[in-house]
Structure 1
């Protein structure tokens, strides 16, 4: 774990959302971000794990969902930060999530950051929810 963490390049959530906005502009997908101002100041390693998990979820949506609308929302309530990626795409069969590295890596990153990821999909879209306990040791 320590080796993985020390080789990570810091990635900010704000920068990741700016990149996503540019990405979705290339395929005319309506992309919105809500509540980004609610994100507390996190340690770099924790923020990087969340940002990279968001990137993975958004790249999956871009490549596979055929969504017309994608929203990332953030909510912070003094104890936990919740980041939620919602799309109105075609979804996928949830039992297939262990076959690719993308969704598995989201779960692993969040586990390393002492958080959790839940992924729910249906033919009406997909929701990826990242929940991060934000105690004093996770904050800067």
Structure 2
């Protein structure tokens, strides 16, 4: 391409851009927005009074045991007061949860093993008849 043709093509591009700005009223910004589907429960006043016990039971089932809740609350309080750094508190809380779950799983496995043993008696505890010879005497 020669310099003259290059200059002409740049001039045409500039004119086209100016025409677009005139028609569009300036620069255009295209924005994309996300609209996620979030289910919102519909609660009536009657639901509040008739299902209050069931709702409270469902809400408290999501909370940890009171002793555990107190422990994690104390750990968080110590962190907020500055007695513990947050990475240390996080490590202590995570380690406690892992150990607690592992101990619970081990205890459940032991209980299941004991129940299985009780359901099937040991071979030595079974009552078996002594075997008798099946020989018959010939006369």
TM-score above 0.5, yes or no = no
Q: Which has the higher strand share?
A: 1
Query: Which protein has greater RCO, CA pairs closer than 8 Å, 6+ apart?
Result: 1
TM-score when normalising by structure 2: 0.19
